[in-house]
Structure 1
Amino acid sequence: MTAIPAVDSSNTDQFRSWDGAGGAFWAERAERFDQGIAGYHGELVKAAGLRRDSVVLDIGCGSGQVTRDAARIASEGSALGVDLSSPLLELARTLAAKDQLANATFVQADAQVHDFGESRFDVAVSRHGTMFFGDHQAAFANIARALKPGGRFVQLTWQALDRNEGIRTFRTIASGGRELPPPPPGAPSPFSLSDPGRVRRLLGGAGFTDVSMTGLTVPMYYGRDVDDAFDFVAHQFASAFGQLDGESRARALDTLKADLAAHLTDRGVLYSAAHWLIHARRA
């Protein structure tokens, strides 16, 4: 029986979701997620500045695409991926074994409190993984301890909700057309690290220096055609659609399909999006 990892109380809800139905959803659709942010992935890996002998920590590794790419580059080093989700980690291990990446390993852990050892890693990376910590200050301090002095910490996070057309649109449609307020600042959500001032304060307070934030605007891919995108988005927002009465839900799903059709291009269904590429160094 797999031991339950130590999880900080501020991350308990995230653990329940990612180790349960939420993690299963993304494990089933891991390829779609990788396709969706393909325009950002290469920028993140390049910014990490990996060498052949780098020792790399991938935080919130999910199905492990970043971990595997890091392991390929750091062929004489290693890459450790950590995540709360056992379904995603099972897939990550399978894919790494398929690619014969013996230097890629995966651990179920809460990176906010897990003991990584001190000054162990050259680089820490995270693709959409750090926005969900319950206590960012504690999490970033723990990551700083794990990095060697001068070690790099590179993250890809979302910019504000109003700059991300897809999520903003789908939230509104799934709520029956109501404009929902953005999540509270700092609460675990895709947008908790969207404010540059807050990010700089958190990283500075955790022992990082030379913090820089580069804005990236690349469309997000949601499917090869309308039906494909509809299946993905309707399932992703199923909980919100499920709170509507039958008539309202049917109307909302029709609205979703029409909106997806309006965003169909020769490259699939695309919505505008904006991210931050955050770079910092351990002091």
Structure 2
Amino acid sequence: MEDKNLKQKEFWSGAGGDVWVNKQREMDIMLNPLGQRAIDKLALSPDKIILDIGCGCGATSLEIAKQIPQGKIIGLDISVPMLDQASKLASEMSLMNTEFQVKDVQVEELKSEYFDIAFSRFGVMFFEDPFEAFKNIHNSLKQDGQLSFVCWQNASLNPWQSLSMQVIKQFLDLPAPPPQSPGPFAFEDKEYIKEILEVSGFQEIVITDNQEDIVMFSGKSIREASEDYLTINPVVTEMLKNSGDELKEEILEALITKFSDFHKNEGLLFPSATWIVTAKK
């Protein structure tokens, strides 16, 4: 297969992956509750064989592994540093029913009719060709196999992203990505999700609206939280790498002002909107 995801691989095995490894704790505090909504939809039993797509540093794989002691979970990602972190954590927790592989489910063949369940926490929105990717996922599932994933709704419903971009675009030239292009909000339109899954052969598709508050940078002051926010956006981090301290401080002060209404004792508390998606083969 042609490697259509080369840019994504280079990014996530470089600066993007390194940032997420360094900020793993903060990102898991933010994302674990949302990932749990998709885990709750799974028909887990001790001997299931499960695929975790875009598993990153392994939080969801490790959580699921505890619930399938006689089964196995295989976490796939295109980020070498994040998978190294996942393997390290699995070893520390003595979870021997985990396996982590550098693999792109869009362009690399998966074992046919092997998995009982395919799962993802925010890992399926980065494909250059999602139709090809989900056909591959569909083929990897056993008959009656289950799919469950969580993805972001529109950025305007997720102020942790939209408000910060309003600020950063005042200082940096950040062109808006084309609709449905690879990125966190590629699946904001549920009709687009439904189309992809139907074309890929999935049935019993259910897309549920999920809105809940999320915590970012728990226990941090407003300044510390704003500083950390700048570091978890790999694109912004790369653009600021060669910028002077004065520009960075201007952006930081503007973020502090914008985020001040959302700063609570536990860190930054934002509303969020996601889709919880389930389907069957």
1:175–1:244 Cα contact (<8 Å) kept:
no
Partner of 1:221: 215
State the match for 1:275 in structure 2.
274
Residue 9 of structure 1: how far off its partner (Å): 2.9
1:87-146 Cα offsets, whole Å, 9 max, x none, are 000000010111111010100001112222110000000001000011000000000000
1:234 maps to 230
Q: Does 1:98 align with 2:92?
A: yes
C-alpha contact (below 8 Å) 1:158/1:194 kept by paired residues: yes
Contact 2:3 2:107 in 1 (8 A): no
* 1:53-79 deviation per Cα after TM superposition (whole angstroms, max 9, x unaligned): 110000000011111111111111100
The alignment partner of 1:130 has SS state of coil
**1:43 CA drift (Å):** 1.3
User: Where does structure 2 lack aligned partners over 5 or more consecutive residues?
Assistant: none
Percent sequence identity over aligned pairs: 28
**2:197 paired residue number:** 203
CA RMSD of aligned residues (A): 2.0
Describe how 1:12-23 pairs up with structure 2 within 5 A.
12-23=6-17
State the Cα deviation string for residues 10-51 of structure 1 (Å, max 9, x = none): 211100000111001001111111001232132121112211
Structure 2 match to 1:171 = 165
Distance apart, 1:169 and its partner CA: 0.9
Give TM-score, length-normalised by structure 2: 0.92
Distance in 1, Cα, partners of 2:240 & 2:164 = 10
Partner of 1:258: 257
Q: 1:240, 1:109 → 2: CA distance?
A: 28
Q: 1:266 to 1:185 in 2, by over 3 A?
A: same
Q: What TM-score, normalized to structure 1? A: 0.91
Counterpart mapping for 1:1-283 below 5 A: 8-176=2-170, 182-223=176-217, 224-225=219-220, 226-235=222-231, 236=233, 237-241=236-240, 249-282=248-281
Sort the Cα spacing of 1:145 and 1:123 in 2 relative to 1 into closer, same or farther, 3 A.
same
User: Counterparts of 2:269 and 2:116 in 1: how far apart (Å)?
Assistant: 36
Change in Cα spacing, 1:27 to 1:245, as seen in structure 2 (3 Å) is closer
Whole-angstrom distance in 2 between the partners of 1:186 and 1:230: 28
Of the structure 1 ranges 258-267 and 213-222, higher mean CA displacement relative to structure 2 is found in 258-267
Shift of 1:185: 1.8
Structure 2 Cα separation of the partners of residues 56 and 20 of structure 1: 27
Q: Which residue type is aligned with residue 28 of structure 1?
A: N
3-state SS of paired residue (2:212): coil
